[in-house]
Structure 1
Amino acid sequence: MSNPALAPYASCETRSKGRQYPEDAPRYRSEYQRDRDRIVHSTAFRRLVYKTQVFVNHEGDLFRTRLTHSIEVAQIARTIARSLQLNETLCEAICLAHDLGHTPFGHAGQDALNACMRDYGGFEHNLQSLRVVDELEEHYAAFAGLNLTFETREGILKHCSLNNARRLGELGERFIRRRQPTLEAQIANLADEIAYNNHDLDDGLRAGLITVDELQQVPLFRRQYDVVMAEYPSLNGRRLVHEIVRRMIAYVVTDLIENTAAQLRAAAPADVEAVRSAPGPLVKFSEPVLAEHMALKRYLLDHVYRHYRVLRMTNKADAVISSLFKTFFARPDLLPTEHQQIASQMEAESGEAGRARAVADYIAGMTDRYAIVEHERLFDPAKRS
């Protein structure tokens, strides 16, 4: 029986495409609750606490990590889903899992590992997140991975090339046929953007890379700054920043909910299949707010992500990841014993590409600090192995 609280076009577990390995239904929770709980209990989820969002973990205790980012994304997505009568639990599961495959050192680490894997199929963190939940997690006697539902796995796979899509069976079909994912997956995608746009701005201010005065050239920031200063003219410091950022988030989330509700009324999808068949995403900002959202994104690219202090970290990340990969690929006997065995098995199955993928799996699973320690163990003569 479908949930009467959900809209007819929401994802409902009774209409789920199921799991790769059939399991008895859970007695006291839904299938999507089971997905969420398996993600929270996974090893990869715990590692996110020491993986970079923008600033390497040891640079400060108060900067976002991949773990806090994932929790913030889930919180935003749940609000949007509930307001639109969509499946809040499925949204939460997707958001909590979306970065499980991210490398140490954020996007810099991903770019470095992708360059190392160029001749062996490349590396993309969305695909790696799927690989983590499908194959790499080791918790259950009956199967590898977490055996999540199709809908959660689909939501994790935000982007995918056609070549990779062809190897993913039913999960890759929407990229080949240019179909849409569920509304819950669409929400998770934009909740991710809302979270990192606003929270990277907050972290950039905390780090001193940008200032409140400089941000007043950004329309999204300036609008809320003016509102806050009119109401609280003596407010300053962290309280001023937090008040502005929380209002920025509320502003774009409100627009997304209201504009998406209008899109859904106009399209009137009868069910999830109608959502999948739509010519484009139905979860979207209004055009004016999208323009402001993108302007903030461009500002952060120019003034935070390309700041010399962040670029220095990026350069270090590239050096660490690249040297780890080259060394372990050339000398898999230097890997920890368990990973040596995995690399040997994967090489037997797929040649050098298999060995490279095993090394990439090992490196992608590292936290920032573990990657630094491994680098020291390999290249610092004074460091014990």
Structure 2
Amino acid sequence: MENNLKVYAASSTTSKGRIYKEKIRGTRTEFQRDRDRVIHSSGFRRLVYKTQVFVNHEGDMYRTRLTHSLEVAQIGRTIARALSLNEDLVEAICLAHDLGHTPFGHAGQDALNECMLKYGGFEHNLQSLRLVDYLENKYLEFPGLNLTFETREGILKHCSSKNAKSLGEIGLRFINNQRPSLEAQIANVADEIAYNHHDIDDGLRSELIDIKEFCQLSLAKSESEIINKEYKNINKRQFINEIVRRMINQFVNDIVMKSSNLINEISPKNINDIRNAPQLIRYSKKYSIINSEIKSFLYDKLYNHPKVKEMTDQAETIIKFLFKKYSNQYSLMSEENRLLADNKTKKEGIKGGARVVCDYIAGMTDRYALEQYNKLNNNKV
């Protein structure tokens, strides 16, 4: 299953292993086991009711964190296969990368971080790691999912130097300015390709993005001209499907070509050569410019759209309200979390209790957070 990989690819046989040693069972590789553990986790199931940009109750056609994670995994596997790297590891990282996201997308994350500033802050990458290391409770032998070092490393895409120092070996690359595996680098770029183009898709379908303005972007313009030339009687829905598909394909092809050239230039002999090399999975200069153009467009036209701002303001209100309520009265949380918060407060003070409240809110779906807000607040949303 891992016989045709490049010598510098991540491999189960050279893995740095798991926190808790386990007996090797069955025919799956270590990274396939990681992937399966993520898929069967409660955190993964909850992603179906956690949003990207649009709040969950705004419409069923918009993407959730679950559909996004599946799309990231598809893009990631495509790139990994083209470069003869470990698809199973890429898939495991891609499926796990958003497990720690709060309800209500980035607005929820920002609000929860603001609530936690006095108590260590909130980073969704760290929360994803925290979830797979501690918060999932499926196994009798160990806490969390006990994933391999390589999958955990890939999940931790960003990390402050302060937090890195407390993470042991997995935080060292942020201190030593090293790179993760190529598989982790692929998951990172696949995430960006997916969310940019799927936000475009959702924005166009909701008509918050004007299709004529969108087609003035350099790549969209060239692709739309080709589409209109090839298909004379195409409707709007078909056009959106086609142009988003083509743009994703162009970015993937560029990543494969540019990354392949960069890897060949340094001729790495093993994965350690990758860790000490510059970033090798990246866009060409041309597509870096195109990517920046798309991100700026989305920021101006979608993320700052009055309707989206209204949703993000609502999300901020809900998260901050819940944090204050639960912090002042642990009994409003589930019995398990109340007991945990009481115990942590006795041992670590307010900071310990605040982290339990933070974990509780971060694990909520959009729907449940809204239900709790309406239940605890007279001014219903």
Change (3 A) 1:168 1:176: same
**Distance (Å, rounded) in 2 between the aligned partners of 1:304 and 1:324:** 27
Measured against aligned partners, the alpha-carbon deviations of 1:350-382 in whole angstroms (never above 9, x if no partner) come to 211110000000000000010000011111389
**Distance (Å, rounded) in 1 between the aligned partners of 2:2 and 2:53:** 40
Per the alignment, residue 150 of structure 1 pairs with 149
Per the alignment, residue 367 of structure 2 pairs with 369
Using the TM superposition, name which of 221-230 and 192-201 deviates more.
221-230
Per the alignment, residue 162 of structure 1 pairs with 161
SS in 2 for 1:141: coil
Per the alignment, residue 330 of structure 1 pairs with 328
SS in 2 for 1:38: helix
Change (3 A) 1:382 1:376: closer
Structure 2 unaligned regions, length at least 5:
none
The size of the alignment, in residue pairs, is 381
Does structure 2 retain, via aligned residues, the 8 Å contact 1:94–1:156?
yes
Residue 27 of structure 1: how far off its partner (Å): 1.5
**Distance (Å, rounded) in 1 between the aligned partners of 2:217 and 2:359:** 39
Per the alignment, residue 103 of structure 1 pairs with 102
Sequence identity of aligned pairs in percent?
54
The TM-score, its normalising length taken from structure 1, stands at: 0.97
Structure 1 stretches of 4+ with a deviation exceeding 3 A read none
Per the alignment, residue 32 of structure 1 pairs with 31
SS in 1 for 2:209: coil
1:269 paired to 2:276: no
Does structure 1 retain, via aligned residues, the 8 Å contact 2:112–2:122?
yes
Measured against aligned partners, the alpha-carbon deviations of 1:318-363 in whole angstroms (never above 9, x if no partner) come to 0000010011111112222111011112212321111000000000
Change (3 A) 1:13 1:239: same
1:151-300 equivalences in 2 (<5 Å): 151-278=150-277, 280-300=278-298
**Distance (Å, rounded) in 2 between the aligned partners of 1:317 and 1:381:** 14
Does structure 2 retain, via aligned residues, the 8 Å contact 1:26–1:34?
no
Does structure 1 retain, via aligned residues, the 8 Å contact 2:126–2:159?
yes
SS in 2 for 1:227: helix
SS in 2 for 1:140: coil
The TM-score, its normalising length taken from structure 2, stands at: 0.98
1:56 paired to 2:55: yes
Change (3 A) 1:210 1:140: same
**Distance (Å, rounded) in 1 between the aligned partners of 2:221 and 2:117:** 42
**Distance (Å, rounded) in 1 between the aligned partners of 2:58 and 2:132:** 30
Does structure 2 retain, via aligned residues, the 8 Å contact 1:174–1:181?
yes
**Distance (Å, rounded) in 2 between the aligned partners of 1:217 and 1:169:** 48
Using the TM superposition, name which of 215-224 and 257-266 deviates more.
215-224
Does structure 1 retain, via aligned residues, the 8 Å contact 2:165–2:172?
yes
Does structure 1 retain, via aligned residues, the 8 Å contact 2:2–2:86?
no
Amino acid in structure 2 at the alignment position of 1:336 = S
SS in 2 for 1:74: helix
RMSD: 1.3
Amino acid in structure 2 at the alignment position of 1:71 = L
